[in-house]
Chain A
Amino acid sequence: MTRLRIPLAAALIALPILIRTVWFYQGYYWRGGSIATPEYNSFTIPQPPLSTPAALPEPDVSAPGGIILLDQSHENLFSSSELASLTGIIDARGGRVENILSGNYDERTLADQLKYAAAYISVCPTISYSSGEVQLLQEFVQRGGRLLILTDPTRSVLRVDYSGFGSAVIVADVIAANTLLAPFDITFSDDYLYNMTEYEGNFRNVYIRNFGDHPLTDGLQTLVLYAAHSIQTQTGTSLLLTSGEIKSSRTDQSGGFSAAALDASGKVLAIGDMSFLQPPYNQVADNALWIQRIADFLLGAERVHDLKDFPFLFQRPVVIVPMSDVSLSASLLGPITSIQQELASVGVVSSVATEAADGKDLIILGTYSSPGITKYIDPLGITLPSTSVFMNSLPMIDIPGFGSIPSTGIGLVLLSRTDTRTTLLLLAEESYSLTDLMSVIGPNGFSNCVMQGNVAVCGLSGGSSFGG
């Protein structure tokens, strides 16, 4: 019994401890192995795939230059320096970029500037284009001008309603751009393209490796766009096609997007990104080559000028030739000087001579009865009133598209072109009427004329006196 006492006492001591332990603890927390944490040292900062400048073709400085209009009149969200990579190439190719300013900064109208421009660039506009502007630009494109419209998802504008609760609304830049592009069947989506699996530094910077078949994309293998809108066109050509896991933020779905498109005429280029133009992104992958292609596109415009484009009709020096029945009276010298000044203002040298000269364009001042005038008139299908008709009845002029119209009190401005010469004819009933006629093609720009193609029929202030 005595031998049991000690174990019993020990058990009695242990019992409360055991009971309390069991009361609180059912087991022992043990974690096998260590807990893994991210391998922070293995995560590196992605670097862009820079292109090799040597791979780029040399600028073709022999290519004809041209004036490229850069719109700054629609509260465009960019600064000129952001386009330096593009405008630098335009300069290198003999082109010149001219800004279109808004309000009172520029007296000239869009119509005036489009007369001589090869191309028109609009970058991230935030004010919609008026129907008048759209029409002007449509006509510009129809006459060979080219449009480049750039938007960028990062250039939306925040408009704040200060009159109410100060709520802000984000207005996408595509809204204004789409007002201009609607007639050309191109639409920017209010989205951005992204790729969560393969990207250049950030998910919104996407690689483009599929290209539409067009000279603009010749030689391109990889482009990187730094946040780009997708673009839809039914009749045009999609140029920068997405592939793989590139998705649109609008649907979060992949497949079938394009970040650049040409309209059906091939003269309107829309690109949903402008960041690729800026350093350092202009040197990534084939972006520099793509920028060169865009510059080529802009300078490749083949403008077809019509009468409205005076004085930008001529590519060569101009000879002003009064026909033999037109005397250079004092009243005619003033308007001739004005025309010469207008030509000089656009860099066209002119002179007055008695006959045309080889290698020069021509302005003819004549009357309906000028000897030899028919060789200029006949190709245009115009029939002038003959002397016999003139004496016996109301003289009429037959003009294709206009029909027969009385020649009294009107003047004609006609444009004809051959491969070697551009000829502008100013014809009036009498020599003295030419003074009035020459004034209508001056600064007022055919304000008193009905125009159709290369024919303008202009009312002259002194014409009503016929027969009186």
Chain B
Amino acid sequence: MNAIKTKWLSHPLAKVLLWLALPLVVGILLALLVPRPVIGIVYLRDAIDANTAGDLDTQIRYAYDHPEINAVVLVLDSPGGTVADTESTYLELIRLRQKKPVVTVVENMSASGAYYLAVGTDYIMVQPSSEVGNVGVRTTLPMAPLVLEEEVSTGPYKFFGDSRDATLRILDPLKQGFYRAVVLGRGKALKATPEDVLSGKIYIGTEAVRLGLADSLGTQSDAIVKAASMAHVWNFAVRDLRKPSGLPDYFAYSFFFETKDGELTSYPKKAGTYFLYIPADDGRLP
């Protein structure tokens, strides 16, 4: 038996197999351990609030923690939303960008808080007629303080949060933070004047590119290619990060005010301070 083995091993073909094919097979097997790069897709097609921002943050952290995700494309179609949730997601995006490139592609709209998120990414693509911008803050002033017979509190602003004047003044530092995020995010690309940016105007995609509020026109496919290019990968896979990050199927949260007829308005359900664009509607009251 040993004689046969020795004889086979001494055969020239066996030597070839041993020293060429076997290492190659091992190499191929080991090569399979080299992960195929993945471009993660994160969608925001709703207003930003605790629910949607929480979902975004989960996906962003997943991308951060998983090395096979080489770049992320943030797909935006949102009028913005709550202030703190927007800032939180913005900072999560900045953290992710330290490791991996993030490209934004705007579908219909990236307004207000959604644009805040966009400037937290490396590159912004828009459609020619996307609505982009609306930098600024809006709030509803509380009513003048009053005391009630049946509802009591321990301080004059317990019911109202703050005075009307103070509430108005709070907008300014929020606006400054937003503006700085735009300046830092857009860098030298920004051609718009501070007043253009802070006016709260909505720009169509082509104009946004001209003003440096966005980088180029492009589709989601273009954004994926761009993200891959920035991550220096090709032959990549594309993966919606919602499921891998353990989130359930998308559920539409009730951010907007709904009329008694079941019609969804553009107004948030709760009064408050928002990075939010409320389009001029047909005059119907919320």
Given known A12-B27, A28-B232, contact A39–B36 (CB-CB < 8 A) = no
Report whether A38 and B232 are in contact in the complex, using a CB–CB cutoff of 8 Å: no
- Flag if A168 contacts B19 (CB, 8 Å): no
19 A–B pairs (Cβ distance < 8 Å), ordered by A: A9-B19, A9-B22, A13-B27, A14-B27, A16-B27, A17-B27, A17-B30, A24-B37, A24-B234, A26-B232, A29-B70, A36-B184, A37-B91, A37-B184, A43-B172, A45-B166, A48-B165, A202-B168, A202-B172
Q: Report Cα–Cα, A177/B23, bound state, in Å.
A: 93
Interface of B is mostly: helix
* Known contacts A9-B19, A24-B37, A29 near B27 by CB under 8 Å: no
Taking a contact as CB atoms under 8 Å apart, the answer to whether B98 and A34 are in contact is yes
The interface of chain A, by Cβ under 8 A from chain B, is 5, 8-17, 19-21, 23-29, 31, 34-40, 43-48, 158, 160, 165-169, 196-197, 201-203, 280-281
Tell me whether A43 and B177 are in contact in the complex, defined as CB-CB below 8 angstroms, given that A167-B283, A202-B168 are known contacts: yes
Contact of B37 with A45 in the complex, beta carbons under 8 Å: no
Q: Are the C-beta atoms of A16 and B30 separated by less than 8 Å?
A: yes
Residue of B nearest to A28 (CB): B232
Query: Given the interface contacts A31-B97, A38-B184, A167-B284, does A201 sit within 8 Å of B198 by beta carbon?
Result: no
Bound form: Cα–Cα A202–B138 in Å: 11
Give me the interface of B with A, judged by CB distance under 8 Å. 19-20, 22-24, 26-28, 30-32, 34-37, 70-71, 90-91, 94, 97-101, 165-166, 168-174, 176-178, 180-181, 184, 194-195, 198-199, 230-236, 282-285
Which residues of chain A are within 8 angstroms of B195 by Cβ–Cβ distance?
196-197
Known: A20-B32, A196-B194. 6 other contacts (CB 8 A): A9-B22, A15-B24, A31-B98, A38-B180, A45-B169, A166-B285
CA distance A14 to B285 in the complex (A): 68
Whether A29 touches B232, Cβ cut-off 8 Å, given contacts A12-B27, A38-B181, is yes
Look across to chain A and name the residue whose beta carbon is closest to the beta carbon of B19. Answer: A5
Report the minimal beta-carbon distance from A211 to chain B, rounded to whole angstroms: 25
Find out whether the CB atom of A16 lies under 8 angstroms from the CB atom of B98: no
Cα A31 to Cα B230 with chains together (Å)? 11
Residues of A within 8 A of B236 (CB): 24
A13 and B30 contact, Cβ closer than 8 Å, known pairs A26-B232, A45-B172, A160-B285:
yes
**Would A29 and B101 be within 8 Å (CB), given that A24-B233, A24-B236, A197-B195 are in contact?**
yes
Docked CA distance A9–B16 (Å):
10
B27 and A37 form a contact (CB under 8 A): no
Known: A8-B19, A37-B91. A29 touches B100 (CB 8 A): yes
Task: Check B233–A46 contact: CB distance below 8 A.
Answer: no
**Bound-state Cα–Cα, A12 to B20, Å:** 7
Closest to A202 in B: B168
Nearest CB in chain B: distance from A205 CB, A: 9
Given the interface pairs A24-B37, A160-B285, the reply to whether A37 lies near B101 with Cβ below 8 Å is: no
With A9-B19, A17-B30, A40-B177 in contact, is A35–B101 under 8 Å at CB?
no
Whole-angstrom distance from the CB of B211 to the nearest CB of chain A? 16
Please state if B168 and A201 are interface contacts (CB–CB under 8 Å). Answer: yes
Alpha-carbon separation in the docked complex, A19 to B19 (Å)? 19
Residues of B contacting A19 with CB < 8 Å?
Answer: 31
From B27, B28, B71, B94, contact of A35 by CB (8 A): B94
User: Which of these, A8, A28, A31, contacts B20 with CB under 8 Å?
Assistant: A8
Q: Is the CB of B173 within 8 A of A27?
A: no
Residues in chain A near residue B177, CB distance under 8 A: 38, 40, 43
- With both chains docked as a complex, state the minimum distance between the C-beta of A255 and any C-beta of chain B, in angstroms: 15
Contact between chains at B23 and A9 (CB < 8 Å): yes
